[in-house]
Structure 1
Amino acid sequence: MRRIDQLLSEYGESHQNETNKSIHWICVPLIFFSIVGLVASIPSQAVQNVLGPENPYANWATLALILVLVYYITLSLSLSLGMMLFSVLCLFIANVIARLDIAPLWMISLIIFVVAWIGQFYGHKVEGKKPSFLKDIQFLLIGPAWLMHFIYRRLGIPY
């Protein structure tokens, strides 16, 4: 069995309840996005010096996502392409929020992060099982890939 199949199967063991699954479809992408927003909010003069001071994507989140995508590539090239598209979407939305200047990106991201985690823990309370990342930290990255693999299966794309 491929490593990605093993990880997705193990992750799925604690995600059988339909309510918990539904909550995950909302909260996992929000958590992923909120982390992108929080990391993008870290002052990034050094990154801007390398990637260009006028580049709106010259921030720590872009660099962190490159590393995350390398991890996904080691698991599945096909799945990593979907995760790359979602990552780019998260960077784009974070950039739009920052430019709108309604509130600081870090504040909006922090609120989303807290609310989404409350949702996640509620879902696991309903499920009656602990979140997978408490067993193995890499499941924080497997959660988004687990959702992506369902999209791939629906579209008939091998992962």
Structure 2
Amino acid sequence: MKTVLQQLVNYACYHRDPRNIRTHFVGIPMIVLAVAGLLARPALAGVSLAHVAVVLLVLYYLWLSRGAYRGLGLCMALCMLLALWGGLRLAALPQAAWLGWSLGLFVLGWLFQFVGHLYEGRKPAFVDDLMGLVIGPLFVVAEWLFLLGALGGMQRQIDAQAGPVRRRAHGPLPH
């Protein structure tokens, strides 16, 4: 099983253009919220698939981030609980509104993702490794923490192994 650093390095190799990272700051939270909303309905005895998925993801993120990076795991737990809360709010809407908002967020989130990968000039990470679908939210939270000046040692290790984030735009979108 890969460590949190190995998972993030692998994911980062597909995300070195800052424009791509910025689209992920928008797209991935939209997708996570949409999936939470879609899985929050129906519920059996007050427990939905969203509850189960979030508990499993939180346990995975906490396990993956144990040791020196436990703060990252705790941040992920908070973010996933917020996504669950938002998903439950979506699920409480009338059926047409729930489905419209959830599917709309899902599609729009993926559009952001694919535009980012046009900038990157590289396919999304999950195409080569389905774990990318689980690591994407972790990557976004880690990148936010890097911007806030946290986890500098982790950021340096990722940059050393995946290459630094390209700081300058490289012209128009590739064809």
TM bucket normalised to smaller: 0.7 to 0.9
Q: Is there any run of 5+ residues in structure 1 with no aligned partner, and where?
A: none
TM-score, normalising length: structure 1: 0.81
Q: Is there any run of 5+ residues in structure 2 with no aligned partner, and where?
A: 155-175
Alignment of 1:1-159 (within 5 A): 3-41=3-41, 43-45=42-44, 48=45, 53=46, 58-77=47-66, 78=70, 79-99=72-92, 101=94, 103-153=96-146, 154-156=148-150
Write the deviation string for residues 46-90 of structure 1: whole angstroms up to 9, x where unpaired. xx1xxxx5xxxx321011111112221221032221111111111
Between the aligned partners of 1:11 and 1:20, the Cα distance in structure 2 is 12
Contact 1:30/1:116 (CA < 8 Å) preserved in 2?
yes
> How many residues of Structure 1 are paired with residues of Structure 2 in the alignment?
147
Between the aligned partners of 1:97 and 1:65, the Cα distance in structure 2 is 16
Alpha-carbon deviation of 1:28?
Answer: 0.8
CA RMSD of aligned residues (A): 2.1
Between the aligned partners of 1:108 and 1:14, the Cα distance in structure 2 is 29
Aligned-partner SS, 2:123: coil
TM-score, normalising length: structure 2: 0.75
Which region of structure 1 is more displaced relative to structure 2, 102-111 or 129-138?
A: 102-111
2:62 alignment partner AA: I
